[in-house]
């Protein structure tokens, strides 16, 4: 289905529903690059939504990936997308991140796309699941989540902290030509767990 070694699978190739969010392809490609993945790496996707990031991590690493979401619709959609892309190294888990994260092994990379209003605790638990030298990427559209994420990352003494705001506009045909439509800006924090 996706024969390339680059991230950024087009959104239209994923199964989608109106009630389950998807990390858009350009933001997803940037998040994957900030994770600095290698073959065989293990990862956790917190707030997997449609599973687009889970699929991309599986395809990049062929390692074990744990996808977590509290919404059964998201879990089922993630499973459909994993099957569609032949990504077999993921375990999809229905539950709250606060309950699931402590039960998982340490991994090389964590991406947090949803904290469900408890950013501090979810991010702290996510960092605890990282191996030394592991990378975390937090994507958010909320300023409050960004503030809390940055506070936790600094408190936990992570290094190589990078903050990026991504604003994407996509073309759409209209009767008189082509116009650019802006998507929600996304703030992305990435950091490394110190050895």
Q: pLDDT tens for residues 3-33?
A: 888 888 999 999 999 999 899 999 999 999 9
The strand pairing partners of 174, in sequence order, are 177
Ranges of each domain in the chain: 16-192
Mean local confidence (pLDDT), 76-82? 97
Q: Residue 4: what pLDDT?
A: 86
16-192 is classed CATH 3.40.50.150: yes
> Of the candidates 31, 33, 32, 57, which has an alpha carbon nearest to the alpha carbon of residue 43?
57
As a three-state string, the secondary structure of 79-90 is HHHHHHHCCCCE
Q: Residue 1: what pLDDT?
A: 72
Q: What is the largest CA-CA distance in the chain?
A: 57
Q: Residue 155: what pLDDT?
A: 94
- Residue entry with tokens 């506009």: 169
> Of the candidates 9, 111, 129, which has an alpha carbon nearest to the alpha carbon of residue 59?
9
Q: Residue 101: what pLDDT?
A: 97
Q: Residue 187: what pLDDT?
A: 95
> Of the candidates 116, 119, 136, which has an alpha carbon nearest to the alpha carbon of residue 127?
136
């Amino acid at each position: 289905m996706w024969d390339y070694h680059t991230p950024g699978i087009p959104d239209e190739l994923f199964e989608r529903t109106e009630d389950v969010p998807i990390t858009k392809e350009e933001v997803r490609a940037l998040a994957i690059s900030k994770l600095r993945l290698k073959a065989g790496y293990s990862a956790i996707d917190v707030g997997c939504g449609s599973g687009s990031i889970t699929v991309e991590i599986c395809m990049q690493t062929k390692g074990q990936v744990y996808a977590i979401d509290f919404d059964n619709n998201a879990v089922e959609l993630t499973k459909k997308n994993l099957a569609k892309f032949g990504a077999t190294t993921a375990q999809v888990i229905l539950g709250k991140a606060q309950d699931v994260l402590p039960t998982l092994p340490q991994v090389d990379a964590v991406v947090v796309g949803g904290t469900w209003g408890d950013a501090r605790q979810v991010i702290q638990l996510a960092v605890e699941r990282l191996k030394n030298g592991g990378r975390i990427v937090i994507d958010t559209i909320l300023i409050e989540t960004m503030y809390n994420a940055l506070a936790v990352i600094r408190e936990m003494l992570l290094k190589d902290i990078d903050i990026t705001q991504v604003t994407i506009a996509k073309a759409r045909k209209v009767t008189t030509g082509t116009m650019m439509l802006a998507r929600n800006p996304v703030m992305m924090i990435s950091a490394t767990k110190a050895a």
